[in-house]
Amino acid sequence: ARSGKTDCVQLLLQQGLEADEATKRGETPLFIAACRDRVNVVEALLAYNVNCNVERTDGTNVLEAALANGATK
């Protein structure tokens, strides 16, 4: 998700990657991709029905985090 390599993310998802697993801060791959403006990765994750209603440990949701990090798309 960090690198923005959609083909790698899709392959991992097909192989059973737990896409809703979060870091200690509560950031899922969706959080990471959205905060880095990786639109193709966000779309790939959403196509696999990842949870888009998660919040980080500080209470920030995906949209708030993406906007705070300068995401434009």
* pLDDT band at 24; cut points 50, 70, 90: very high
pTM of the model: 0.81
What was the pLDDT predicted at 42?
Answer: 92
What confidence category does residue 16 fall into, taking pLDDT thresholds of 50, 70 and 90?
confident
Instruction: Tell me how far apart the alpha carbons of residues 21 and 27 are, in angstroms, rounded to a whole number.
Output: 8
CA angle 41, 42, 47 (to 5 degrees): 95
